[in-house]
């Protein structure tokens, strides 16, 4: 038979057409599922890159706040001056409570070093 059409009777013709239909459907299903998997991978990678970039920026911003606090503490130990300066620079990224927490952490860290 080797992909040659058999035309002995209508049953063979029907069976042969049905086999072709099933084989064709199977190929399109496989191709569709492979495309969906590829799209999901691409989408997942893009989402992962965005999340990673956002997380990296947050970490860098937190590190910047801590470095600024440490630098200001070298010149002044007045909490109000430190808070006002840090709020001016990073107030749009962090709440007042978070900034106060960073300052408290920096003070305890500097006490440990002393």
Q: What is the pTM of this model?
A: 0.55
Q: Across the chain, how many H-helices and E-strands are there?
A: 3, 0
Cβ proximity of 82 and 70 under 8 Å: no
Distance CA 89, CA 67 (A): 12
Tokens of 73: 């503490």
* 59-69 per-position pLDDT tens digit: 998 888 888 98
Q: What 3 state SS string does 30-54 have?
A: HHHHHHHHHHHHHHHHHHHHHHHHH
- The Cα–Cα gap between 48 and 55 comes to 10
The pLDDT-based confidence of 46 (bands split at 50, 70, 90) is very high
Q: Label residue 56 by pLDDT band (50, 70, 90).
A: very high
Q: Please tell me the distance from the alpha carbon of residue 105 to that of residue 62, in angstroms, as a whole number.
A: 12
For the cut 90, the answer to whether the pLDDT of residue 41 exceeds it is yes
């Amino acid at each position: 038979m080797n992909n040659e059409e058999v035309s002995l009777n209508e049953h063979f013709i029907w069976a042969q057409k049905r086999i072709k239909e099933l084989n064709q459907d199977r190929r399109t299903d496989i191709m569709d599922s492979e495309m969906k998997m590829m799209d999901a991978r691409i989408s997942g990678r893009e989402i992962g890159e965005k999340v990673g970039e956002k997380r990296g920026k947050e970490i860098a911003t937190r590190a910047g706040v801590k470095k600024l606090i440490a630098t200001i503490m070298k010149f002044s130990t007045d909490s109000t001056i430190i808070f006002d300066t840090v709020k001016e620079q990073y107030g749009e990224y962090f709440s007042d409570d978070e900034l106060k927490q960073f300052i408290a952490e920096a003070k305890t860290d500097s006490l440990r070093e002393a």
